[in-house]
Chains A and B, each alone.
Chain A
Amino acid sequence: MTTMTDTTTQVYQLYIRATPEQVWDAITNPDTIAKYFHGAQIDPGPLEVGASRRSWSPDRTRLWGDNTILECDPPRRYVHTWRSLYDDELAAEDESRVTWEIEPADGGTSKLTLVHDKLEGAPKTAASVTGWSYILSNMKTLIETGEAFPAAT
């Protein structure tokens, strides 16, 4: 008997007291991203398939990521490639993929699901991106209260 397992996909899910549009803004607006994602600076650019999503360290001296938007369906679905460039070992690994899914839920909340997959050729990246829990928890606090935790180092 074959058992089907999937060890190269990570799933993160949470409910946020906000509209899908507010959540969409939080995952695509560079000003908002900087507040919950280790101070990352995202280059402003078109939100469209094939466009690049380039992110920099807070002082804009180091390139953290140079990814490509694969799908863009506001305010429901946003997919982009992922490669961590802030570390040489991670940068040498294969590209993986990040999918953001937003669904309206009960009680004025939205369900946000983040799927980080295609990690077959990126085992070290897979071990490092477990920090998504922290990022998403921080994003939720920011959206719901307007305040983020102090930036993690």
Chain B
Amino acid sequence: MDDDLVFKALADPTRRLLLDRLFERDGRTLTELESQLEMSRFGVMKHLKVLEQAGLVVPRKQGREKLHYLNPVPIRQILDRWIGKYREHAVSALLDLKTSLEDTA
């Protein structure tokens, strides 16, 4: 999955709100997602499309309905690729600081 698409998709409060709604209860229809937002159906559709292109939302047909599912895998990949690396770095920098402060104390 393209990291740029994921970061761009996440860089919008409405889209993050949609993901939070799906996290609370997954597998929702457009109608249901729309009813919780002060936004036109077209607006919600556009945001969902961006989330789908980033792989963060996966649509699946169930009967005549199209249900939207939160796909947590791209976020996991961002975590593995970006966050984990820097978190480790920050932790080791703090440990270095602790050691050097304690040595000079």
Q: Which residues of A contact B (CB under 8 A)?
A: 3-7, 9-15, 113, 115, 130, 133-134, 136-137, 140-141, 149
User: Mask for B25-69, Cβ within 8 A of A = 1, else 0?
Assistant: 111110110010000000000000000000100101010010101
Taking residues whose C-beta sits less than 8 angstroms from the other chain, chain B's interface range is 20 to 34
Q: How far is the CB of A120 from chain B (nearest CB, A)?
A: 13
Note all chain A residues with C-beta closer than 8 A to B65. Answer: 4
In the complex, residue of chain B having the shortest beta-carbon distance to the beta carbon of A113: B58
Main secondary structure of the interface of A (DSSP, over half): mixed
How far is A6 from B23 in the complex, measured between Cα atoms in Å?
Answer: 12
State how many angstroms separate the Cβ of B6 from the closest Cβ of chain A.
Answer: 12
On whether the beta carbons of A130 and B72 are closer than 8 Å, the reply is: yes
- Return chain A residues, CB-CB under 8 Å to B25: 5, 7
Q: Which of B35, B71, B80 contacts A11 (CB 8 A)?
A: B71
Contact in complex: A136, B73 (CB < 8 Å): yes
Taken together as a complex, chains A and B put the C-alpha atoms of A3 and B31 apart, in Å, by 8
What residues of chain A lie closer than 8 Å to B27, measured between beta carbons?
5-7, 9, 11
Any A CB within 8 A of the CB of B95: no
**From B29, B55, B69, B70, residue with most partner A Cβ within 10 Å:** B69
Q: Do A137 and B73 touch across chains, with their CB atoms under 8 A apart? A: yes
**A140 CB contacts on chain B under 8 angstroms:** 77
Instruction: State whether A134 and B26 are in contact (beta carbons under 8 Å apart), knowing that A11-B71, A12-B71 are contacts in the complex.
Output: no
Chain A residue nearest in CB terms to B28: A5
Residue B76 interfacial (CB < 8 Å): yes
Check A12/B73 contact, CB under 8 A, given A4-B62, A113-B58. yes
B1 lies within 8 A of chain A by Cβ:
yes
Assembled-state Cα–Cα distance A113/B1 (Å): 13
Tell me the bound Cα distance from A133 to B1 in angstroms: 14
What is the 8 Å Cβ interface bit string for chain B, positions 73-96, against chain A (1 contact, 0 not)?
111110010000000000000000
Q: Are A10 and B26 in contact (CB under 8 A)?
A: yes
Nearest CB of chain A from residue B66's CB, rounded to whole Å: 10
Residues of A with C-beta under 8 A to B70: 11
Minimum CB–CB distance from A112 to chain B (whole Å) comes to 9
